[in-house]
Structure 1
Amino acid sequence: MSGRLESDMQLGILAKAPLPGQAKTRLIPGVGAQRAARIHADLVRHSVATACQAFAGSQITLWTALDHAHPLFIELQAHYAISLAPQPEGDLGARMLHALGCAPGPTLLMGSDCPLISPALLRHCSQALADHDVVILPAEDGGYGLIGMTHPQPELFREIAWGSAQVMAMTRQRIQQLGLSLACPATLWDIDHPEDWARWQALNVSLL
């Protein structure tokens, strides 16, 4: 299947403004603060461009942090006709739940750290929600790069050890406890550390 999905599906992308010293901080020891910020900006651009190959701009919200009026966000909104919305205060779980709860129907939510997420994989995740309550793309580090659901499930975001290698295991356990059905179409990896960036460069694939 190719082309955009015309449906009531919504897609949210969580993204920090690319401020040196505040974005991709775990990359800084390997590449420096300025380059880490540039890499982050390219990752955000890549994520939005990928999303817009699978969905219409009207279906996509970029959830912003650090500087909600950063030129990068304004650029992406103008180019792709996406919506911008500020992430609220709170831990990652609270911010994710807020983003998922703001959509009127089924929703996918992703970060901007995983350029392996493709338009085809986004379409696959969207279609998985036709017969599953939850869809997740697990990450090799024990977290996940995307989560989607037909209805908000607050218990999946409470008292989770965010940033740890236990996120996916804890989330999977909650899903089982709630009696929800889960689809995991693929396991991916994020660009968080210098070795991840080197791994991506070894693939010889441009972000843009």
Structure 2
Amino acid sequence: MPSLHESARDEPAGLTTRTLIFGRAPVAGEAKTRLIPALGPAGAAALQEHLMADLLERLSEAPRARLELWAAPDASHPTFGDLARRHALSLHRQYGENLGQRLAHAARQGLTRADAVLLIGTDCPDLTADYLEMARERLRWSHAVLGPALDGGYVLLGFKRLSHHLFDGMPWGGDRVADLTRQRLRDLRWSWSELPALADIDRPEDLVLLPPGLQPPWPVLAHAAD
């Protein structure tokens, strides 16, 4: 495996990056389903919409990241069109039967337009433009970059070439995703850099981690804060 210094010598000075943002349509009963016990179907969908809008507002300050919005189950929901127009983003439909396939498909497309891709979701209220820039800079001297989530998943994964080994058969939604990703990076003999771990909002107990501007205006069941 090449050393980090060897990788740095081989890295072009003008690394171009695409940030692929994976969002789900805020449809009641289909969005943020693990939060439905606390927020109800409509409340969970509303939070999904708020998280997407807030993320794109923050990341619009990172022009070098070249944001793309990847929509599921398709790009027809008006929220996607509104956000894409507001932030001048390209809008794409996610393809694949599971999350791993959808991530790999989008990454393959993104790498036809840039030297590297950063894959992120919309569940992390602490992911900022500075965090993206840090990830982009780390890719100048490593094959990949990983932004772990506090729950054992990840909030960001970036790389300069695609390997399906990073996605196939991954137990998505579990607490071993980041550890398994690290092991698969070792299998590939890739160098990688890790960013600070951040919290994402997936379960009722995570709602206490929302910043004040994103606290739900709707009633939340008491057990969500236990």
Answer whether TM exceeds 0.5 for this pair: yes
Corresponding residue number in structure 1 for 2:103: 96
2:93 partner letter: P
Corresponding residue number in structure 2 for 1:3: none
Corresponding residue number in structure 2 for 1:195: 205
- Distance in 2, matches of 1:111 and 1:96, equals 10
- Distance in 1, matches of 2:40 and 2:142, equals 42
> How far off is 1:55 after superposition?
2.3
Which portions of structure 1, spanning 4 or more consecutive aligned residues, are displaced by more than 2 angstroms?
203-207
> How far off is 1:185 after superposition?
1.3
1:53 partner letter: E
1:43 partner letter: L
2:60 partner letter: C
CA contact (8 A) 2:15 2:140 kept: no
Asked if 1:68 corresponds to 2:75, the answer is yes
User: What aligned pairs does 1:1-208 form with structure 2 within 5 A after superposition?
Assistant: 8-55=16-63, 59-103=66-110, 104=112, 105-200=115-210, 203-206=211-214
Q: Which of structures 1 and 2 has the bigger CA Rg?
A: 2
- Distance in 1, matches of 2:157 and 2:32, equals 21
CA contact (8 A) 2:123 2:202 kept: yes
> How far off is 1:89 after superposition?
2.3
1:84 partner letter: L
> How far off is 1:91 after superposition?
1.1
Deviation per CA, 1:45-80: give whole Å up to 9, x if none.
Answer: 1122222111268x2211101342111111111111
What fraction of aligned residue pairs are identical, expressed as a percent? 34
